[in-house]
Chains A and B, each alone.
Chain A
Amino acid sequence: MPLSAVRTVAKAQNGVGAFILQCKRLDFHYCDWAGSSRGMKAFIKTSLPKFANQHPQIEITVSPRPRKHPVIIGHYINGRTKAVCVRNMTNEGVREKAKLLRDASGERLKRANKPVTSLNESVRGIWSPFHGARVKV
């Protein structure tokens, strides 16, 4: 065989072509009795229907969790979860946290110390001493 081929799998580029929101489920837990859930309950009553309507791609579950602080748990496509405790927060505060969980990718937080991360090779290539203008010593 003069030529054979390497078997690989094409890599996904989310957002090139289709974009898939990484947050697939949000669980809202509250307590009917405790005061720390006041903001959460207000959010569930007033803002959650609109939030759910705006994000049909997120499955939303609401369930009581008695004698516990209110919490929002996000489930992500990569299999990880993220939980945010929203005790004593107002309606707006809970909404901000829900948006934060919606926008998260589910990955651990990482420091991005390179300006560009790309699958493509650099167009200019690696610098070579043999090409371009010669340096006279």
Chain B
Amino acid sequence: MKRIRISRCGTRFPLLLALPRPTCRYTAIHRNTTPHNHRIQTRLQSGVAFADSYSSGPPSTEISPLTKTPLEALPSPHPSPAATSAKLSALRARLSLPPRFPLQTLARALIHPSADSNPAFNNASLSILGSNLLGYYTTEHLLCNYPRLPMSVVFAAQYAYIGPKALTTIASEWGIEAAAEPGGEVDPGLLQFKRLRSGDSLPDVLQNRKPRKWNITTTHKILTSDEFGSAMQRKEAQESQAQPVPLEEAAQSFVRALIGSLHLHLGRPFVKRFYRDHFLSRHLDIDKLFDFRTPTRDLSRLCAREGFEAPVARLISETGRRSRHPVFVVGVFSGKDQLGEGSGASLDEARVRAAAAALKGWYLYKPLEVTVPSSMEGEIDQSKWKPNVVDCGEVIV
């Protein structure tokens, strides 16, 4: 689980106004020229463009003679045609975003760094913010609602809600279409990224790297790994620029960047609602995520830890013991309390299933009233806060 870096995310300000953005070379050129002078048509050199885009003062005189840059020279669509793009406004309406969310930002969220390496025009920064927010909201939902969940199951549940595969699926369910090739002349409503050609191997930065340490403990995963507890580490995203990526990578970055831009433009309550509607509303059976190795041993350790009587498996009923299809129903009892029940084709199978059912009953405990920490952000009235259950953790065998 990655630690959250959202110290500055609490405030809400429009992205376009607040960030000191370097000027786009397309607008910079148009601003300084007479519109009807088509005599001098020189191709823009990228070095000049970068020098211009990072200088906050007026553009240098060297580029002023340039009259017209063809749209194809831009690496990604210019922000101005976004306002009239039918695809973008349809996407905004499909996601039920309010009209005050600017289409230009939506268009920027669709530009992957592989298409446009200029950080002022791609979605890298928005995507970092969005991924932190997604991780934060998912983690607090899981930890507050299921305080006794073992750490590996928490990681798997995070992966199921906001993992790379889940985000790719969500993007395709939102009807995101990808451009065949990024460029300034492409419709801004298409996902802009440089495609990995089929058959080519993944770029180095996307391939999972082996960690330096070989013994990865759960604590290590919580502290240093990502929010899914992966043992392998990836390189930093900065190095992945201008390298072809698969469609999945670009689609994930769009979903994360959209969350980030929603946070900046529409504020925290809206993002929380959006997150609840589009992410938490998805169906996930957490009890199907458990994969026990030796549930009977775990259960006896758990009973010893909690001070219950040692668990005893007793046969509740059976049929066809000497037939081809015997069925045994076995219950696990601690004293007079039945902890779990399971049925199986052999006595052992039924006993193991009963122990697993008892363990799931313990681990999947859900408090009735839950207030997640983010619901108290910006609240003046703190009396609504109810402290959450903190469990001592899973059984250590």
Cβ–Cβ contact B94 & A21, under 8 A: yes
Cβ–Cβ contact A1 & B153, under 8 A: no
Cβ–Cβ contact B283 & A24, under 8 A: no
Contacts of B336 in A (CB 8 A): none
How far is A16 from B150 in the complex, measured between Cα atoms in Å? 28
- The residues in B between 288 and 336 inclusive whose CB is less than 8 angstroms from any CB of A are 288-294, 297-298, 316-317, 319, 329
| A1-15 near B? 1/0 per residue, CB < 8 Å | 111111111111110
Cβ–Cβ contact B94 & A57, under 8 A: yes
Cβ–Cβ contact A13 & B290, under 8 A: no
How far is A35 from B242 in the complex, measured between Cα atoms in Å? 53
Cβ–Cβ contact A59 & B90, under 8 A: yes
Asked whether B87 is an interface residue with its Cβ less than 8 Å from the other chain, the reply is yes
Cβ–Cβ contact A8 & B288, under 8 A: yes
Asked whether A123 is an interface residue with its Cβ less than 8 Å from the other chain, the reply is no
Cβ–Cβ contact B291 & A4, under 8 A: yes
Q: For this complex, into which size category does the number of interface residues on chain B fall?
A: 35 or more
Contacts of A130 in B (CB 8 A): 316-317, 319, 329
How far is A7 from B152 in the complex, measured between Cα atoms in Å? 10
Cβ–Cβ contact A9 & B165, under 8 A: yes
Cβ–Cβ contact A2 & B277, under 8 A: no
A11: which of B150, B283, B317 is its contact (CB, 8 Å)? B283
B289: which of A6, A20, A129 is its contact (CB, 8 Å)? A6
Contacts of B34 in A (CB 8 A): none
Cβ–Cβ contact B289 & A8, under 8 A: yes
Cβ–Cβ contact A77 & B166, under 8 A: no
Asked whether B89 is an interface residue with its Cβ less than 8 Å from the other chain, the reply is yes
Say how far A64's CB is from chain B's closest CB, in angstroms: 18
| B244-282 near A? 1/0 per residue, CB < 8 Å | 000000000000000000000000000000001110111
A24-B175 contact in complex given A2-B298, A4-B152, A4-B293, C-beta closer than 8 Å = yes
Contacts of B175 in A (CB 8 A): 20, 24, 77
Asked whether A115 is an interface residue with its Cβ less than 8 Å from the other chain, the reply is no
Contacts of B293 in A (CB 8 A): 1-4
Cβ–Cβ contact B96 & A18, under 8 A: yes
Q: For this complex, into which size category does the number of interface residues on chain A fall?
A: 20 to 34
Say how far B353's CB is from chain A's closest CB, in angstroms: 14
Among B36-44, B48-56, B156-164, which stretch is in contact with chain A? B156-164
How far is A119 from B282 in the complex, measured between Cα atoms in Å? 11
| A97-124 near B? 1/0 per residue, CB < 8 Å | 0000000000000000000000110000
| B64-93 near A? 1/0 per residue, CB < 8 Å | 000000000000000000000011011001
How far is A12 from B284 in the complex, measured between Cα atoms in Å? 9
- The residues in B between 133 and 166 inclusive whose CB is less than 8 angstroms from any CB of A are 150, 152-153, 155-157, 159-161, 163, 165-166
A3-B319 contact in complex given A13-B281, A58-B90, C-beta closer than 8 Å = no
Cβ–Cβ contact B163 & A5, under 8 A: no
Contacts of A119 in B (CB 8 A): 283
A24-B394 contact in complex given A2-B292, A5-B156, A17-B277, C-beta closer than 8 Å = no
Contacts of A7 in B (CB 8 A): 156, 159-160, 163
Which 6 residue pairs across A and B have the least CB separation, nearest first?
A17-B281, A5-B156, A56-B93, A10-B282, A17-B277, A18-B277
17 residue pairs of the A-B complex, CB under 8 angstroms, read A1-B152, A3-B152, A3-B290, A4-B152, A5-B150, A5-B155, A5-B290, A7-B159, A8-B288, A13-B282, A16-B281, A17-B276, A17-B280, A20-B95, A24-B175, A56-B90, A130-B317
- Extra contacts besides A10-B160, A18-B278 (6): CB < 8 Å: A3-B298, A4-B291, A10-B161, A12-B169, A12-B170, A13-B283
